[in-house]
Structure 1
């Protein structure tokens, strides 16, 4: 999702004007945080939202560049375009967590996705919910791969205008004898391979810093639990290759700028924060504008009149800094609110798995954010970033640092510490016993078995190759089996691996 803009070659004057307007917006935002009223949870039921990015395949299990036709057939505004013509996005309106809301949401998601699947089938396509489509190949980007939205074309042009050279993808799997992908791309097409689940949590301004810090600390455990992207362009790479691919496929830096330590647009961060303002200030200080589109809004005048300005320039700029936990400022029906947008998780494998991941995140975050001696006062930010990289590279073999545990395997940390926190956090938000048992039970069994989506994909492909199939044949068959498991809605840790 994003704001529509028109592709253009921006002048120096436009860039200067945009920078000045962004700084004005930042000043107004700071004043709003001090003296303006924001919509916020009432202390009983936090509002949560959800976005799921999806892939389309044809009857050969290869990408179907058909999202315009599929969206026309679905005819539901909750489904929208994404970067690639083989991508669509499903947006779920905000709702509280209390009671059986998660169980009701599971029914609704399954019904909506089943309807969308039926309509997609009528156009010759099928919907797959997975972190990276394993049958995707660089050759698929030699056709018309980009969705017909001016915003995407403008973003592509802006990235390469900043780089002045082709993108280099260089990703090696961990360990001796690991596979290695190295290639160049002359568009941001590889970014479209990254399909994720985005979890939103609306928070009060005074609670934002604690929630963001807690989300950053949770990013490693989240990814170890939910990794689902081990294959890219036929290569077995990281457990969650999507995170490194996204970083490299949107990188506006030349190798020389990387060597100088210039920050990438895909940014984990580098410090704990004390206010949401810290993040927007970092954006303005460190990241040049990719899309310097200005509006006629006078934010000072709007605020002086007692209204909430849209701060469009600040929001657009924030939309091109791809934090794994992104701050969101938005105005709905004249009322401003703040959200933490969690972008850590890949899509899939099932609706049940997606909601189990969400329940774990919301529950654990609630308790970590409210702790009198929060984890970020006892752990360096570098340790949280290292945990995130460990989880992305190693998945179910990840080892983390955590205060009170030292170096600890991911499953032990989840089972002994984070899962009980998640259960208590959901209980405090009045989530029903039935819902907590269902979704946190999936997390418990996933951790006990050491099986997530990435584990199942790699074990299945290895088993199929042992049967004599080529890598391409094994990936195609694995995707067929994955689709069947996805439609069953049985959690991925219960899926069988071929003999």
Structure 2
């Protein structure tokens, strides 16, 4: 979620100063893109994995602060809710066995965290939404004790001026409301970071937008919320609605939501930062002491604190990231589409598919975004989230096509080629993309396994809450094996 704030109460003057600083940062970034030597990207990537803590009955365990203190590993950080953790996997090159090394690093980190969790009578669960959550779990009192989270809640709830209303229609329907953003803590994701050169950023972001619907269809893992079966990836509409800061009047007037797919293809990373400034008022207008112009004039690299802080409160499904590492600036595409889990092997298969596919699509001529309209890309995003592996998508040259057929016939060969361009070892390429292929052939991902397992339990006479607990316990057991979800018995 970002760094803690030094200040949690803001005045109108703070907001004016902050907007001016963001504009100044944006002007400096524009100059840097012309003059500064950025890290040129190459096959370098990172991962963030959000994790649920569950108690012996498979309900949420509000123990993150205690477990983090015992663990003492800076790679793990608290997330919004007290039953959430986030694992930040250090970036590495994808060359050779990079993806396999990622997998081993994640497994080792989760093993150590699991040992600490057991001391607190808790277990780790990677899933899009914890199926046993109820509205009583997602209340203000269960926010992690963190100044940033409290400030976000106050600012978003204050901007809305009313309860957040949830209305999701899927296999079943859910209508509910909340006076806090705490329900956002239900949404746990896997975020993929791909470092790119400035001149390449627009092509990689456009490609990421184009394939977002396919990612969701292939990787959906959140069919249940508050006891209802909704979308295959319910995390998408729930996150959008649970943090919608717009009063109803603003929504009716076309004001953009902060959780946003976007509205057009781009030609530069500056397009996205300009949209941030144009459409979104500051939520956390903390002003730093840095003068980015003076820093640049002195020959140093500015942190662009305000630009980054503001960007962190606009929740694009593919987000631009400016960062500085070892004194060198770089840009990343942060792909926020995928849910967490089911297993680390599934997660790495999703990552390999994404990294390879966008690498290949970024080089296609004519570009995919010249043949696929932005409206079609967003419609695919909705269809993939709603229908999961059974989704029907629109794709240039094929028209309407089943997501599994599109992956098997068109996109997997492109992902193979893209991983080859990235220098990924063929054994890693074939193993991970083989998981994606077998998932398509079986027609089974995390969402379908969850739904089928709950249905089977209900057919044996279990009530829905009991069926969800039973399914979650089985999910925990199979997750430990790291065998991909399409191989799990029902």
1:105 aligns with 2:102: yes
The Cα offsets for residues 407-456 of structure 1, whole Å up to 9 and x where unpaired, read as 11100110011100001111122211210111000000001111110000
Root-mean-square deviation (CA), in Å?
A: 1.0
CA contact (8 A) 1:251 1:266 kept: yes
- Find the residue that maps to 1:182 and give its secondary structure: strand
The Cα offsets for residues 252-276 of structure 1, whole Å up to 9 and x where unpaired, read as 0012211111100001000000000
Q: Normalized against structure 1, the TM-score is what?
A: 0.97
Moved more, 306-315 or 358-367: 306-315
- Find the residue that maps to 1:326 and give its secondary structure: strand
Q: How does 1:280-319 map to 2 (within 5 A)?
A: 280-319=273-312
Determine the C-alpha separation between the residues in 1 that align with 2:423 and 2:29: 33
Q: For the structure 1 residues 113 and 7, does the alpha-carbon distance in structure 2 shift closer, same or farther, using more than 3 Å as the test?
A: same
1:204 aligns with 2:204: no
2:124 to 104, 115, 127: 127
- Find the residue that maps to 1:157 and give its secondary structure: helix
Moved more, 65-74 or 267-276: 65-74
Q: How does 1:237-276 map to 2 (within 5 A)?
A: 237-276=230-269
1:378 aligns with 2:375: no
Determine the C-alpha separation between the residues in 1 that align with 2:23 and 2:104: 45
Q: Which runs of 4+ in 1 moved over 2 A?
A: 6-9, 141-144
Deviation at 1:7, TM superposition (A): 5.0
2:75 to 74, 78, 89: 78
CA contact (8 A) 1:73 1:123 kept: no
1:13 aligns with 2:13: yes
Deviation at 1:367, TM superposition (A): 0.4
2:382 to 379, 383, 389: 389
- Find the residue that maps to 2:128 and give its secondary structure: coil
CA contact (8 A) 2:159 2:245 kept: yes
Q: For the structure 1 residues 305 and 281, does the alpha-carbon distance in structure 2 shift closer, same or farther, using more than 3 Å as the test?
A: same
Q: For the structure 1 residues 142 and 253, does the alpha-carbon distance in structure 2 shift closer, same or farther, using more than 3 Å as the test?
A: closer
Deviation at 1:304, TM superposition (A): 1.3
Question: Which residue of the partner structure matches residue 216 of structure 1?
Answer: 209
1:157 aligns with 2:150: no
Question: Which residue of the partner structure matches residue 450 of structure 1?
Answer: 443
Determine the C-alpha separation between the residues in 1 that align with 2:183 and 2:263: 26
- Find the residue that maps to 1:371 and give its secondary structure: coil
Question: Which residue of the partner structure matches residue 270 of structure 2?
Answer: 277
Deviation at 1:400, TM superposition (A): 0.7
The Cα offsets for residues 23-42 of structure 1, whole Å up to 9 and x where unpaired, read as 1111111111111111123x
CA contact (8 A) 1:6 1:154 kept: no
Query: What stretches of structure 2 of length at least 5 have no aligned partner?
Result: none
CA contact (8 A) 1:163 1:252 kept: yes
- Find the residue that maps to 2:339 and give its secondary structure: coil
Deviation at 1:142, TM superposition (A): 4.7
Determine the C-alpha separation between the residues in 2 that align with 1:55 and 1:5: 24
Determine the C-alpha separation between the residues in 2 that align with 1:100 and 1:33: 32
Question: Which residue of the partner structure matches residue 46 of structure 2?
Answer: 49
Determine the C-alpha separation between the residues in 1 that align with 2:310 and 2:396: 35
Question: Which residue of the partner structure matches residue 365 of structure 1?
Answer: 358
Question: Which residue of the partner structure matches residue 35 of structure 1?
Answer: 35
Q: How does 1:123-202 map to 2 (within 5 A)?
A: 123-142=120-139, 144-173=141-170, 178-202=171-195
CA contact (8 A) 2:139 2:180 kept: no
2:402 to 384, 395, 409: 409
Determine the C-alpha separation between the residues in 2 that align with 1:123 and 1:333: 37
Deviation at 1:164, TM superposition (A): 1.0
CA contact (8 A) 2:140 2:180 kept: no
The Cα offsets for residues 330-359 of structure 1, whole Å up to 9 and x where unpaired, read as 112221110000000000000000000000
Number of corresponding residues:
490
Deviation at 1:66, TM superposition (A): 0.4
CA contact (8 A) 2:213 2:382 kept: yes
Question: Which residue of the partner structure matches residue 26 of structure 1?
Answer: 26
Query: What stretches of structure 1 of length at least 5 have no aligned partner?
Result: none
